[in-house]
Structure 1
Amino acid sequence: MQRLGQLEEDGADEYEMEFEILTQDNLGIIQFFDDDVLLGTEFVETHVSLQREDLLDDYLDAYEDGFVTIIVPDDAYFETVEHIKNELDEAADIYSYSALGIRPTPMAS
C-alpha cells in the first residue's frame, strides 16, 4: 500500500505500525503504537468503504484511543469533510489522496 511506504519513508519508523486491509469494505487501517500503547489510527478510505454504515462509529471508537486521520479519494474530500466534521467536531484530520501524494489504484473485480 502506497501510504504505508510513505510513512516508512518519512521516518515513522520510530513508531510501530500495524496495517490491515478489510477486503469486504476495501478499507485500509494503519495503527500507530509506541511501546505497545496505541497512539492513533489512520483510515485509508475508498469510495466503497465510505459507504459503510458504521463509518462514524469506527472513527469515534478509534478516537477514544488516540488520534484519527482519514484519507479519502479526491472527489469525495469535500463531502466527507462536511459530513464528518459536523459529526466529529474536529476530532479527526481529513486529507485527500492527492494532498498526500497517493495515486488511486483500481480495485480488482
Structure 2
Amino acid sequence: MVTVCITTHDLSNLWKKRLNSLRKLTDMLRDQRNKVFAHSDMEALKYDELVRRLPLTYGEIQKLIDFALDLTIELFAKITGIEKDRLPKNYNDIQGLLKYAEVGMEAVEQHLGNL
C-alpha cells in the first residue's frame, strides 16, 4: 500500500481533470442518450446513421465505466474509511463457473450433433 498526502482540493482537481479528459466520450454518450433513450427522435431510429455520427467503441465505454468505478471507490473510501476492491471477492468463482458452463454447452452441442 502506498500513502500519498494530498489535500481534498487537489484531489478534487485531479478528478476534474480526469473527467475533462473524457469530455468527448461523455458528450457522445449524452447525445446518444438524448437521441435514443430519452427522447426517441425519429432520426435516432436510423441506428446506422446514429452510430456513424456518434461512434462509441467498447474500449471507450470501458474508459467511462472505469472512471465511474474509480471515483465511486475513492468517494466510498473517503466517506467510510473503507477501501473496496475493484473486482468482487468471488470473481474467480464466477470465472470458474463460466468455464464449467462453456464446457457444458460444448458437450450439449456435441451430443446434439451426434443425434
TM over 0.5: no
* Structure with more relative contact order (C-alpha pairs < 8 Å, separation 6 or more): 1
| TM bin (shorter chain) | under 0.3
Query: Larger Cα Rg: Structure 1 or Structure 2?
Result: 2
TM-score by length of structure 1 reads: 0.22
Q: Report which of the two has the higher share of helix.
A: 2
TM-score by length of structure 2 reads: 0.21
Q: Report which of the two has the higher share of strand.
A: 1
